[in-house]
A and B are shown apart, each in its own frame.
Chain A
Amino acid sequence: MADISDTDRGVGAVRFGSPNAQEAAAWFVEKVLPLEAALIQFLHHNWRNADEVPDLLHDIYVRVYEAAQKEAPENAKAFVFATARHLIIDRVRRERIVPIEIMADMESLGIAVEDPGPERGAIARAELRRLENAVTKLRPRLREAFVLKQLEGLSRREIALRMGVGEETVKQYLADGICALADILYGETTDLRKRK
């Protein structure tokens, strides 16, 4: 419909070796990342060491991405959780740790995975609220740097002057900020870690 895509500015950073790799990346971003919060809940229920959940999550991502390079699975949700189960079973076997029962699946955990509805305006507004909410959760300095960059469009040098710190510090604030934001937007893992 529209000739100009939303990714005009964004995805150019990664140059993919093959169309498959590019499709796999798009599939990963669109279908897999939105499952992160549910996946983290699943892992916390099925893995006793909460500290290892980020590692497990990462390994699941690598596995599903590599599988998708061959062929994108039709049902992302089913595939991702099946991968998670297999990974846990593998680890239990190889590490000879006391097996735990993997019984809880998404449904029994009552995990709802958001499916975007049809109304575009409402989605855009809900997304903006989500983003705004996520940004308010950042630590103050990270938030300030992030807002100056993304909302006010200042350069790193201008942000450094405004915040009274060096440019390298600004870079660190922005890097820490986007890591925290990704956790909040996709996983809310910071909250889960605290709960432990």
Chain B
Amino acid sequence: MTASIERPAETINEIRATAAEWLIELRSGDSWTKERQTDLDAWLAASPSHLVEFLRLEAAWSRTDRMVVLRQPQRRLFGVASYSKVLAVRVAAGLVLLAAIGVAMAQFTPKSKFQTYATTVGGRETLKLADGSTVELNTDSVVRIGSLGGERRAWLDKGEAFFQIVHDTSHPFTVMVGDHRITDLGTKFSVRRKLNAVEVTLVEGKARLDDARADNTKLAVLEPGDVAVATAQGLKVTRQKPELLEAALSWRHDMLTFHHATLAEAAAEFNRYNNEKLVVGDAYAAGQTFNGTLPTNDVAAFVRVAQKTFGLRAIKRGNETVISR
């Protein structure tokens, strides 16, 4: 049928289907190996018919890479449901979050058997505990898990973790953050230890917030949707919009979600996850605001957004990328 072109025996549709399979395996596969690359090379080299169809599909796919900036988890984009409903609570250092039914807490120094778990920059680990509870450890974090006097206990020494605790009335689960204690009764929550603050993001359940050093002073009873921001000076509780609470936890899916974040804030957040650091070089660049979701490890995607969306320059120096006007 073809007059002048040497085409393989396959039909165009077959070539396209094969090209699409290769592309999808390459772009979404869990294990792209050297061997597969060699196979792909051979397939592409076999005929320019293969190559042009692959190039065409790959170009289309690459164009859609920038669509991540459109992602808005609070609405059902293209009719696809977003992550499950998530609620957050923030607490500062010096405070304790207690689960609703107030268990009187004795103060003691933690002496116990425990196991230490740590993640590197960019790492994320899910720990499954014997009681069925899980702890998801975010980037650059350290947690110790053990038991103390019949109580299940975790110490968040660094970083951030998300806890899903199987409730057991006779064996309460507490999380210590510095001097501070969070007791869980069947709740799901995330804890992030910052330089001068502890943030707790509550997903489910009810919790009481106490100051451990002030003889269990009850600070607040938190309900789903409440966000408590506490500093050494005090505590502020607000009810947060679900989408913002959800955004705060998108790291559990290896994503970072930004709502009206400045480029400077977004860069700082990215730097928690990557050894390749982002530096925002001038006030103009720093002040650009940004909405969207990007993979935690995709520094290149962030740089592309800065370039394409804001028209900024990116200059790579060693393991730093400086973004500026």
* Interface positions of A (Cβ within 8 A of B): 1-4, 6-11, 13-15, 17, 25, 28-29, 33, 54-55, 58-59, 61-63, 65-66, 87, 90-91, 93-95, 120-121, 124, 127-128, 131-132, 135-136, 140, 143-144, 146-158, 171, 174-176, 178-179, 181-182, 185-186
Contacts and interface: CB of A to CB of B under 8 A. Distances in A.
B78 A179 contact: no
Given A3-B316, A13-B40, A156-B29, A28 B68 contact: no
A144 B4 CA distance: 41
A194 B37 CA distance: 37
Interface of B: 1-5, 7, 12-13, 15-17, 20-21, 23-26, 28-30, 37, 40-41, 44-45, 48-49, 51-71, 77-80, 82, 253-255, 293, 295, 300-301, 303-304, 307-311, 313-316, 321
A87 B4 contact: yes
B24 A131 contact: no
**Which secondary structure dominates chain B's binding surface?**
helix
Contact of B64 (A55, A150, A158, A175): A150
B48 to A, nearest CB: 5
Contacts, number: 191
B60 A132 contact: no
Contact of A17 (B24, B37, B45, B64): B45
Given A127-B66, A174-B28, A175-B23, A151 B71 contact: yes
Given A128-B66, A176-B20, A59 B28 contact: no
Given A4-B300, A182-B57, A131 B313 contact: no
B64 A131 contact: yes
A143 B79 contact: yes
